[in-house]
Structure 1
Amino acid sequence: MLPKKEIGQDFLNLFYHDIIDLDLENQNKLNLFILKIANNRFAYDELINELYDNIITFSLSRHELDSFKNSQGGKKFIAARDKFRDYTSNEGEFGEVLLYCFLESHLDAPKILTKLEIKTSNNDYVKGADGVHLLRLNDADFQLVFGESKLDSDLKSGIYDAFRSIAEFLDDKKNKVRFESNLINSQLVKESVESSTYEFLKKIIIPSANEDEYNIDKSFGIFLGFDIEIDDKIKNLSNAEFRRYLRDTTKKSVISSVESIKKQIDKKKLWGYTFYLYVVPFTELKEIRKNIIEKLTT
């Protein structure tokens, strides 16, 4: 029995899905999601309203959530909010939240743990993947999906940084994968799950070579947020023209980056791993990510 997913269709309804499971070869997939547009602006307020609930299940482990089951929702929100770094120096946690939401709602891969939930204070820096999810391919084959999120004004720079981080994560000399596996195992013990569910998850995540019941492989969920520049002339288009321009321009920009993704996989010799890429454009990304975290946490 897999852990319960917390993020559903309501989150995906906030976006236009303009590239759907683009095949990048070797089962790698790319999806472009564009936040709804109204009055020539992205619907950031609607996204923030949705994320108020989502940061609770993102930030808190199931054990922590269970401890709040008899409490009002406000206490859970405060506990979740307090794990975020101060918005003035928060460079990446917005991307981590969105990646968590996409992996649960679109990829159908429930969370095992997130980096944020194992922090003991908001100033902690936790190394390793941004989160770990479990994807069921069939009754016997599963993938541990390690999260990597990058927010960069330039899409191709974000692609480069993401695959550089993944290559470092997989470097045997740094033992990051072994550290992450031990962390997953230790966190499972703390989860509020029935003993049968725990044994099932443990068999999947830490399989024995002597048993052919389950196969587990590593894969990566990548979130890439980037800037789409809009000048005053474009802002003055009619609403319909603006939507069409922004969606078409963004799609062309993402399609033009596909070769960069394939090149990084080849250059870093990352064959045999599966990559699930989620790309989302923003306007004035540097300020927007700070403003959204501020509204969510203050």
Structure 2
Amino acid sequence: MIEKNIKDDFLDLFYNDLCNEALENNNTLNLFTLKVKNNAFSYDELINELGNKLCYFALSRKQVDELKQADKFNDLVKKAKAKLKHHADNEGELGEILLYCLLESHLNAPKILTKLELKTNSNDYVKGADGVHLLKLSDTDYQIVLGESKLNSDISKGVYEAFGSISKFLKSTSKLEFEIDLINSELVKEAYDQTTYEMLKRIIIPSAKEDDTYLDYSFGIFLGFDIPITDDESKLSNSDFRKNIREKIKKEVLKAKNSLNHQLKKSDYTGYQFYIYVIPFSDLQNKRKHIIEKIVE
């Protein structure tokens, strides 16, 4: 199997305030709230950690390995940062990075490729899923996890947008074929030797003649939304603020379960597994650009 680069300790940045919350059709929801200190989210810790992990998200494993072996660590950092759009125009790449980190660290599904690593410059537009990951369920059963991230101040609108994108994807045979071809063509970049490559190819493109390996498609969804913090709330004691904001966020996300379950009941999604991750932000519109700006400094 491919090694994951985002380890379990990435999750130490967050409170897992809803852990594998049950949704319709055996799907799950996880709410990760960024640690709180001094009545604010610990964005400085998040920025530092994402900066440390950016190269694994933005570049192929083979490219990262080659640059490390050549002691070209400065090139490694520069090449990774150059993939990101300028922060002033960057609306969605933060969500893509966070989804990648959560699928690797929490779901234990290492990436095959990300949309970002296919870009030849920061202004490129690459169609397809935000990321593609491989999840091992058993020695014989695997899933390709296709990533879809949405950052919207209103979490219910984010749900609608995410499932709208997935619906279009599933209704387009050409898009699914494109993703399969892309996975096949890019796979060699994620394997360090021929044996690993052949093993992964057998898993990802199984033959019906080989009844010992089964592959299905699933979806990983990231939803970032805005949680307003009032002046009165910000003046609470540290302990009261922490308790108050976590409960407030949890209530908002639980309300959004109705929107999620409404989508998951649709016949379009029968047979597909969904892994849904939610992270709240204060002042989302500005914070998502600020975080990207600080990562590439």
TM-score bracket, normalised by the shorter chain, equals over 0.9
CA deviation digits over 1:62-103, x for unaligned, max 9? 121122022242221111000011111111000000000000
SS in 1 for 2:112: strand
User: Runs (4+) of structure 1 moved beyond 4 Å?
Assistant: none
Moved more, 25-34 or 63-72: 63-72
For residue 265 of structure 1, report the CA deviation from its aligned partner.
Answer: 2.1
Report if the CA contact (8 A) 1:66-1:192 is conserved: no
TM-score by length of 1: 0.97
Say if 2:24 and 2:265, in contact at 8 Å, map to a contact too: no
Q: CA RMSD in A?
A: 1.1
Instruction: In structure 2, list runs of 5 or more residues that go unmatched.
Output: none
Structure with more of its chain in helix, by fraction: 2
Match of 2:172 in 1: 172
State the partner residue of 1:148: 148
How do residues 74-153 of structure 1 correspond to structure 2 at under 5 angstroms? 74-153=74-153
Contact 1:153-1:227 at 8 Å conserved across structures: yes
Q: Which residue of 1 aligns with 2:29?
A: 30
Give the conservation status (yes or no) of the 8 Å contact 2:25–2:265.
no
Partner of 1:265: 264
State the partner residue of 1:57: 56
CA distance in 2, matches of 1:206, 1:35: 38
Describe the superposition over 1:109-139 as per-residue Cα deviations: whole angstroms up to 9, x where unpaired.
0010000011111110000100000000000
Q: CA deviation at 1:21?
A: 0.4
TM-score, scaled relative to structure 2:
0.97
Q: Give the superposition deviation at 1:219.
A: 0.4
Query: 2:265 & 2:23 partners in 1: Cα distance?
Result: 12
Contact 1:225 1:281 in 2 (8 A): yes
SS of alignment partner, residue 272 of structure 1: coil
Give the match's secondary structure for 2:125.
coil
Structure 1 portions without partners, runs of 5+: none
Seq. identity, %: 54
Distance in 1 of aligned mates of 2:122 and 2:194: 31
Q: How many pairs were matched up?
A: 296
Asked whether the 8 Å contact 2:112–2:190 carries over to 1, the reply is no
Q: How far is the alpha carbon of 1:268 from its aligned partner?
A: 6.0
